[in-house]
Structure 1
């Protein structure tokens, strides 16, 4: 009888560990592609090639915007640009990414904002074309847009 209890207890423990392992396992979701390029027009900041970099963890996602062609017209302190990135979504409502993360940028430095945080759903297909990046710097709003689709294609989220 004691053997049965030990065997039953071991089976329950193994089952509990298996369930815990599944609950704690990292989700296997990903965005593809992880980087895309666009030609951005950003008014006062300039315009030209820009790179968007995306990451995903479940329904949370981040996107970073970087451009050597779009430059800081004045020195910009770290974490001082309030940014709102709106991405067109071919499967539904536009997705919005926000944040105030940026490096220190001396005059003439390439612009980098992000990672900007947002929420996505499985199957979202996001493109900068049809969206915009609004940056508020020292109370001045700078808006970046594009007239061409991002390459190699939209960000598709699992």
Structure 2
């Protein structure tokens, strides 16, 4: 009987310690929405919709873009696309996310680039304005022709 009470007391003590640890753990950072769509006009390269996927880890954020506005004319090796995404910041001014990461792109496939990295502060509201992609020495600039749907990224 005595061992049963001791075991119950230990279990309750361990449970309280775990609950206290979880309560003191830092909260996870989140961006909402995590995925948005936007339309781009890329001039002679074409136009179409893009999907933007955002993540956040503290003040570091990353955005990946996949768009059918531009298709790869030839096979493109992974890591050979340089990109800059310009976003409006809090309704005034802009910020840029940059990177040179991409998966391998077979000829004719939609362009996917990112993650492009940037810095955010709690409460920042960012919405895509333009995308500049450089691949094989060619630079393509795409301008947003629609607002992000379902809305701008809001960082925690």
Are the aligned partners of 1:45 and 1:73 in contact in 2 as well (CA < 8 Å)? no
- The one-character-per-residue Cα deviations of 1:135-157 (angstroms, maximum 9, x if unpaired) are 11111111111121110000000
What's the counterpart of residue 98 of structure 1?
98
**Which one is further off, 40-49 or 101-110?**
40-49
2:74 corresponds to: 74
Kept in 2: contact 1:31–1:156 (CA 8 A): yes
**Cα 1:76–1:111 shift into 2, 3 Å:** same
Deviation per residue, 1:40-80 (Å, 9 max, x gap): 12235422111000001110000000023431122211100
Matches within 5 A, 1:109-120: 109-120=109-120
How far apart are the structure 2 equivalents of 1:109 and 1:36? 20
Q: What does the per-residue CA deviation read over 1:99-153, in whole Å, with 9 as the maximum and x for residues that have no partner?
A: 111011121111100011110111111111xx21111111111111112111000
Quick one: structure 1 residues 108 and 115, their matched pair in 2 at CA, closer, same or farther if it must change by over 3 Å? same
Unaligned runs of 5+ in 2: 1-19
Distance 1:105 1:49 in 2: 18
Give TM-score scaled by structure 1 length: 0.78
- Greater than 6 Å deviation, 4+ residue runs: none
Of 148, 152, 155 in structure 2, the residue corresponding to residue 154 of structure 1 is 152
Aligned residues: 136
1:7-26 alpha-carbon deviations (Å, 9 max, x no partner): xxxxxxxxxxx89x95xx45
The verdict on how the C-alpha distance between 1:104 and 1:45 changes in structure 2, with shifts beyond 3 A counting, is farther
Q: How does 1:121-136 map to 2 (within 5 A)?
A: 121-128=121-128, 131-136=129-134
How far 1:28 moved relative to its partner?
Answer: 2.3
TM-score normalized by the length of structure 2:
0.79
CA distance 1:101–1:26, shift in 2 (3 Å): farther
**Structure 1 residue runs without a partner (length 5+):** 1-17
- Counterpart residue number, 2:61: 61
1:37 Cα deviation (Å)?
Answer: 0.4
How far apart are the structure 2 equivalents of 1:28 and 1:54?
A: 15
Aligned Cα root-mean-square deviation (Å): 1.9
